[in-house]
Amino acid sequence: MAQIPAGSNRPGELTRQQTGAAFETHARAWLERKGLRFIAANVHERGGEIDLIMMHRQVTVFIEVRYRRSARYGGAAASVTHSKQQKLLRAARAWLARHSGSFDTVDCRFDVLAFTGDDVEWIANAFTLPS
């Protein structure tokens, strides 16, 4: 997947940031093969970061990419806590506002693409806006 850089603290291992970037790149390609169209990656907004923003037909999709080496302490999807969901909601709201939109005017959803070991789990509509 990703090349192993020379000079890391542990030779032959990627840093946490490098691993995250490699899986986000992998996630983008995986989702594009499923028919989604790329909009943006690593979007930093007030309140949080959005790993990927893509379009699925006419729906704007905010995607959280998670990786865990194993399911020993719960799979990757389980790591998207309520707190993380709230950060994603705030960041998405800010991104939409900067692009002349809002949750009321743009059809959107929140997905999780979870990599646990060699398993891939795509959870469309992983969570929704609070009512």
Q: Which domain holds residue 93?
A: 16-122
Q: What pLDDT digit, counting tens, does each position of 39-83 carry? A: 999 999 988 899 999 999 999 999 999 887 666 666 677 778 889
- Classify residue 10: in a domain, yes or no: no
Number of independent structural domains in the chain: 1
Quote the pTM value.
Answer: 0.83
> What percent of the chain has pLDDT above 70?
82
pLDDT at 55: 97
2, pLDDT greater than 80: no
**Long-range contacts: 118-126, Cβ < 8 Å, 24+?**
119/75, 120/30, 121/75, 121/76, 121/77, 122/31, 122/34, 123/77, 126/64, 126/77, 126/80
In 3D, which of 78, 77, 19, 24 has the Cα closest to residue 49?
Answer: 24
- The tens digit of pLDDT for each residue in 79-112 reads 788 899 999 999 999 999 999 989 999 999 999 9
> Is 35 domain-assigned?
yes
Establish if 4 belongs to a structural domain. Answer: no
The CATH number assigned to the domain holding 98 equals 3.40.1350.10
Q: Per-residue pLDDT tens for 11-38?
A: 567 676 776 677 788 899 999 999 999 9
